[in-house]
Structure 1
Amino acid sequence: MAESQVLELTVCIVIFKPDRPTVLRTLQSLRKAVVSLPPLLVKLTIVDNSPGASDHAWLYAASGDLPCEVIAGQGNVGFGQANNLVLGHTGKYHLVLNPDVEMEPDAIEQALSFMRHHEECGLITPQAFNPDGSKQYLCKRYPTLFDLLLRGFAPRWLKSRFHKRLDRYEMHDQPANSIAWDPPIVSGCFMFFRGDVYTKLKGFDPRYLLYFEDFDISLRTAEVARIAYVPTVRIVHEGGRAADKGLWHIWQFVRSAGIFFTQHTMKVF
């Protein structure tokens, strides 16, 4: 029997020059979330996009008794293409997980339960919090170019003048503790897919090196299945704005925005 038929859950984490304490917290939370479940056939794949040879012994040690494979040596092929390296080996359910996410111990249990009771659901997005406990908004309405520039690069005083617009874009009107169906766009930091949906989509579009690959796959998912915001699936996500990370990240943001609006409808304002 093929591995993709045997595995109940597969998890893929992509790292690049990782901050070890952050990744270790993510792996610890993943192990806790899996160990609380009835026995499942689970596999973790960590794709290391870092340049050159790296020591991966610490990753295997941190994964403990969770079956783990590290893929390395391909260089920085980008977030989407790195995640696509597991295509053909995904389980019945597949989690795309950022290395800066800590989940509640029952997060995976809650996600599995929801998927099993809602066959129409192909992708779950969780309720997320910043490390300081404040709410993080992973669901978005379809963006305009103005929204993206304002949210990503505007100074705080300018954002405050458009806070109602930004709140609408980030779907602040969505009740935090109620299930919400069909948000147009969800974040790539924690995407809990039904495995056959992820396979049907052929994963992420590899043209996106960084940024907007989650926008694109959200829109494509909605064409074949439903997306659900499930607040009982809870995570803490460190995150970060492109403008705070230097010129290379700003360029990747602009480049990916160009690809996105070439593929999908462009709205300026």
Structure 2
Amino acid sequence: MSSKELPPTEAASLSISVVVYRPNEALLARTMSSLAQACEYVRERVPGFAARLVLVDNGGLGDVSDAQRALSASGVSSSTISGHGNVGYGRGHNLAIEQTSSRYHLVLNPDIDIAPSALFVALGFLDAHPDTGLLTPSIRDDDGGLQYLCRRFPTLTDLLVRGFAPAGVRRRFSARLARYEMRDVITESDPLWDPPIASGCFMFFRTEVLKRLEGFDPRYFLYFEDYDLSLRTHEVARIAYVPAVQVVHHGGGASRKGWAHIKMFGVSAFRFFNRFGWRLW
């Protein structure tokens, strides 16, 4: 039986945290709309399902009342945490994680479109595999292409070439980068167990696992907090890549966001390698 055919066995509670800082209002509205549809899909099939969204405003959040009303109509309650300033991505999510008592928690970017059936399939998969603590989905780009966001442990060379080298140089390292992105084992149909690193744009956790890990390491302001959390998750639970859970990601890399992001990327990379070990090649 495929993961598409495994409905949740019982009603479950889901909390969702979205951290924003000067968000793209159109993308955030799309994210919240797709979340409403995905939660409604579950609610129609699983009586008793309850969901709650926590928007963490690190600064610059506009009026989202229309999107919140759409969520409410789909049975999703919502609230906003604000006034704390720009504390970073991981610490922002931790503010929401600390106050949740749900069975499952979804760490979600504000630039993700969720397929209508995605949450239903994710809940069914986790119900069927109680040793799984974190689920990561099939992530596509704007053109429908598969984004290979599961990772093997990186070397400094991998990060520099993938993130900052010109296209001609990246082509010379294509085989190496393909291995780092797990292209040899990631498919569009079959689940993959225990990828070393999962993307932080959509991390579907058992809340008890996330609480045991105490959420994200707050020492990362931006970048690599998902690498760190993924590696620590392996110590207490399994991670599963489930391609039947599908989302679209509209995000971009640090090199395309200016020097401030490049600096943050470098600082976080240094912290990550100092913690988990340096690999240059």
Residues 241, 17 of structure 1: alpha-carbon distance in 2 compared, 3 angstrom cutoff: same
Pick aligned residue for 1:64 from 53, 58, 72? 72
Deviation at 1:59, TM superposition (A): 4.8
Aligned positions of 1:4-19 closer than 5 A: 8-19=13-24
Task: Work out the CA distance in 1 between the residues paired with 2:92 and 2:260.
Answer: 19
* Aligned position for 2:153: 142
1:77 corresponds to which letter in structure 2?
Answer: V
**Does structure 2 conserve the Cα–Cα contact (< 8 Å) formed by 1:56 and 1:70?**
no
Match 1:132 to one of 124, 128, 143: 143
Partner of 2:7: none
> What is the SS of the residue equivalent to 1:177?
coil
Matched, 1:50 2:59: yes
Per-residue deviation, 1:64 = 3.4
Q: TM-score, normalised by structure 2?
A: 0.90
Cross-structure match for 1:80: 90
Equivalent position to 1:180, from 192, 200, 217: 192
- Normalised by the length of structure 1, the TM-score is 0.94
Spell out, residue by residue over 1:116-165, the C-alpha distance to the aligned partner (whole angstroms, 9 max, x if none).
Answer: 00010000000111011111012100000110011111111100111010
Partner residue, 1:3: none
Q: How does 1:240-259 map to 2 (within 5 A)?
A: 240-259=252-271
Aligned length: 263
Matched, 1:93 2:104: yes
The C-alpha deviation readout for 1:196-228, integer Å capped at 9, x for no partner, is 000000000001010000000000000000000
Task: Using the TM superposition, give the Cα deviation of residue 261 of structure 1 relative to its aligned residue in structure 2, in angstroms.
Answer: 0.8
C-alpha distance in 2 between matches for 1:213 and 1:152: 17
Does the 8 A contact of 2:137 with 2:244 survive in 1?
yes
1:24-51 CA-partner distances (Å, limit 9, x unpaired): 1101110111101124121110101115
Residue 27 (structure 1) aligns with: 32
State the distance in 2 between where 1:116 and 1:44 align: 21
Match of 1:119 among 115, 121, 130: 130
CA distances 1:160-181 after superposition (whole Å, capped 9, x unpaired): 1110100110011122311100
> What residue ranges of structure 2 are gaps of 5+ in the alignment?
1-10
Q: State the 1:256 CA deviation.
A: 0.2
Backbone CA RMSD of aligned residues: 1.5
- Residue in 2 aligned with 1:268? 280
Question: Which of 238, 256, 262 in structure 2 is aligned with 1:226?
Answer: 238
| Identical aligned residues as a percent | 47
Would the alpha carbon gap of residues 135 and 54 (structure 1) be closer, same or farther in structure 2, given more than 3 Å must change?
closer
Show the counterpart of 1:202: 214
